[in-house]
């Protein structure tokens, strides 16, 4: 379980795998049909850090960004990808909280997005994935 928490699951060559993983977790959380074609993979902490993000992540923002950017805990599905991109967390949070996806209801209880929050969400999603794909 620890491996998936810290390993990147997103890259240009693995976008479909990340989308499949998140889509399957979403499907396990709801009885409604999910059409992955309408959704894109979104990085909650963006690929390019602006000042607000650096401040939220703290003095080790570069290390945290490099380590957790493409990990499961920092990824979600959304229909708003182009609208969210490099927005400040508060704006992303507002849209994620309004999402119809059960996967994004997780953000109802989140107020800050830092290393601890990303790892916590990774653990939650990993637990869901283990239930979907038991050994």
- How far is 130 from 26, CA to CA, in rounded Å? 13
By mean pLDDT, which of 3-17, 38-52, 118-132 is the weakest? 3-17
**DSSP one-letter code for 8:** B
Give the model's pLDDT for residue 115: 97
- Residue range of the domain that includes 24: 2-132
Please enumerate in sequence order all residues whose Cβ is within 8 A of that of 95, keeping only pairs 6 or more positions apart, or say none.
Answer: 78, 80, 83, 84
| Higher pLDDT among residues 6 and 119, named by residue | 119
Q: Give me the percent of the chain exceeding a pLDDT of 70.
A: 92
> For the chain, how many structural domains are there in total?
1
Confidence of residue 33 (pLDDT cuts 50, 70, 90): confident
Q: Considering the entire predicted model, what is its pTM?
A: 0.88
From 11, 28, 42, select the one nearest 124 (Cα to Cα).
Answer: 28
Q: For residue range 68-90, what is the model confidence (pLDDT) as tens digits?
A: 999 999 999 998 766 777 889 99
Average pLDDT of every residue of the chain: 88
Cα distance between residue 132 and residue 123, in whole Å: 14
């Amino acid at each position: 379980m620890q491996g998936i928490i810290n390993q990147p699951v997103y890259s240009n060559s693995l976008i479909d795998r990340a989308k499949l993983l998140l889509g399957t977790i979403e499907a396990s959380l709801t009885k409604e049909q999910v059409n992955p074609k309408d959704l894109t993979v979104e990085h909650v902490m963006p690929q390019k850090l602006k000042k607000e993000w650096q401040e939220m992540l703290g003095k080790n923002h570069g290390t945290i960004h490099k380590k957790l950017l493409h990990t499961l805990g920092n990824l979600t599905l959304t229909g708003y990808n182009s609208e969210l991109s490099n927005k400040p967390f508060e704006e992303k949070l507002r849209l994620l909280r309004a999402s119809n996806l059960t996967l994004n209801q997780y953000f109802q209880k989140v107020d800050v997005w830092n290393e601890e929050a990303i790892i916590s969400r990774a653990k939650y999603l990993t637990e869901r994935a283990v239930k979907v794909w038991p050994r």
